[in-house]
Structure 1
């Protein structure tokens, strides 16, 4: 790493606290490996950013229920959380969290398209804060929260949802057709596609938070590693891609940090402390 948390905090001594930055970080593949605990270096860097008075926002493609479970492990107990690739925004506080914004998806056309073209694939509609309605049970640990297996396809969209997960062998091949139908479709893996409303991304949610906090556009930082981070990286004044990110992600970032095995996110966060004051 290029600096320790204490060194970076000390370097910030000449930066006015009246110009905080908004620092947005992806979770899986950036701050932590899926299913693992964050490293001491990452925890120290997160603490340093927050101690310096900056707004650290966790921005994940996963559900809100998954996000509010992982955030405390990062040492964050208050602030903003962006979930479901920007379709859900919540605010953490001492009493838990409150949902601030939900961008609903018109799920019926999505589900009908999948059922018509790839009936072998499973569908899961996120239920904000609790789990999913699914056409068939997903494998253990694939989804966070409860799984309500519905009897009829129409039960998937019977209640509002911000995100539909399409899961199964080569599910990613359906992403172009889904996009052509007008929705936002992002393949997270070869067997997984996240579908949200048109125009929804981590960037749209972060921009709303930036305005709410009164942070200058020049004081925005984003760190990510996946396709669902592309818009967030384009949105930020300072964009940093993880070293193991695909070339398409590294190409849009202002710079590339180390891989997750090299605690690249910790380096990126400590460098964010050294931004010049606005």
Structure 2
């Protein structure tokens, strides 16, 4: 997985308030618990960072429709969003959004590998801004947006997609074969694998947003908690990991904050402000 060729300089310094910075934040497990609203403390901290002149950019594995919902709940009415683990980038302004970058793959090979290897496994193929086509409905809360059940499996690959979600017991076992196909495959849980185009991550998309905003690389920060945040945490000049993150994710960050139950993201954002 490619992030950036720039040599990362770790630092423990707070943000320079005189220079606009890019603060990349994961959503689920970081800014909010899945299925719940962000706390007042997190919303306040996000607003304070924005009021100081910095850019809060959401960087998530969620589909765009789910990321947009979170952005509005966080009070972000003018924000950049990196969705689908870097495959989709959008600019949200005043309740409307524009997709500025989209990378897609042909879903057919992924679908065939998954259903042949694990009969009964659920596969969701993202439809940007809408939801997913699914072979078997996912449980409530597992996918964002509308689920469209297909009548024939071939309907899953009717159109290119930025992301597929594979859900079922031991789904993580598909990761090696999917990576051997040249795809980006991340097991966010033992029963869940996200599949996106080659050489993509949150970091690759964030670096494009950084350049578009005119933010210096040294003025970047990231907060996350999961496997799909590792490249983003390595990319950022200042990286903060949530206290409940797995050990291997904590190992790549500069510092740790509290858990999601402790409003760790709020503490991290306020720490960045000094």
Question: TM-score, length-normalised on structure 2?
Answer: 0.92
Does residue 77 (structure 1) correspond to residue 77 (structure 2)? The answer is: yes
**8 Å contact from structure 1 (residues 106, 197) kept in 2:** no
**8 Å contact from structure 1 (residues 20, 55) kept in 2:** yes
**8 Å contact from structure 1 (residues 81, 92) kept in 2:** yes
Stretches of structure 2 that go unaligned for 5 or more consecutive residues are: 1-13
| Moved beyond 3 Å, runs of 4+ | none
Does residue 30 (structure 1) correspond to residue 43 (structure 2)? The answer is: no
Which residue of the partner structure matches residue 188 of structure 2? 188
Q: 1 CA distance for matches of 2:148 and 2:236?
A: 37
Q: 2 CA distance for matches of 1:101 and 1:201?
A: 13
Q: 1 CA distance for matches of 2:218 and 2:76?
A: 24
Which residue of the partner structure matches residue 271 of structure 1? 271
Tell me how far 1:217 sits from its aligned partner: 0.4
Which residue of the partner structure matches residue 132 of structure 1? 132
CA offset digits 1:50-71 (Å, max 9, x no partner) = 0000000011101101111111
Question: Secondary structure of the equivalent of 1:92?
Answer: strand
Tell me how far 1:200 sits from its aligned partner: 0.9
Q: 2 CA distance for matches of 1:88 and 1:172?
A: 23
Aligned length in residues:
261
Q: What does 1:112-191 correspond to in 2, within 5 Å?
A: 112-191=112-191
Q: 1 CA distance for matches of 2:150 and 2:95?
A: 32
CA offset digits 1:88-118 (Å, max 9, x no partner) = 1010111411111111023222111112211
Q: 2 CA distance for matches of 1:148 and 1:37?
A: 26
Does residue 87 (structure 1) correspond to residue 81 (structure 2)? The answer is: no
Which of the numbers 13, 17, 21 marks the counterpart of 1:15?
Answer: 17
Question: Secondary structure of the equivalent of 2:205?
Answer: helix
Q: 2 CA distance for matches of 1:59 and 1:163?
A: 15
Q: 1 CA distance for matches of 2:55 and 2:61?
A: 19
**8 Å contact from structure 1 (residues 184, 198) kept in 2:** yes
Q: What does 1:230-241 correspond to in 2, within 5 Å?
A: 230-241=230-241
Q: 1 CA distance for matches of 2:82 and 2:95?
A: 18
Q: 1 CA distance for matches of 2:26 and 2:78?
A: 17
Q: 2 CA distance for matches of 1:46 and 1:91?
A: 17
**8 Å contact from structure 1 (residues 79, 91) kept in 2:** yes
Q: 1 CA distance for matches of 2:113 and 2:147?
A: 22
Tell me how far 1:86 sits from its aligned partner: 0.7
Stretches of structure 1 that go unaligned for 5 or more consecutive residues are: 1-10
Q: 1 CA distance for matches of 2:209 and 2:262?
A: 30
Tell me how far 1:175 sits from its aligned partner: 1.6
Name the CA shift for 1:29/1:102 in 2 (closer, same or farther; >3 Å): same
CA RMSD of aligned residues (A): 1.5
Question: Secondary structure of the equivalent of 1:50?
Answer: helix
**8 Å contact from structure 1 (residues 105, 162) kept in 2:** yes
Does residue 99 (structure 1) correspond to residue 99 (structure 2)? The answer is: yes
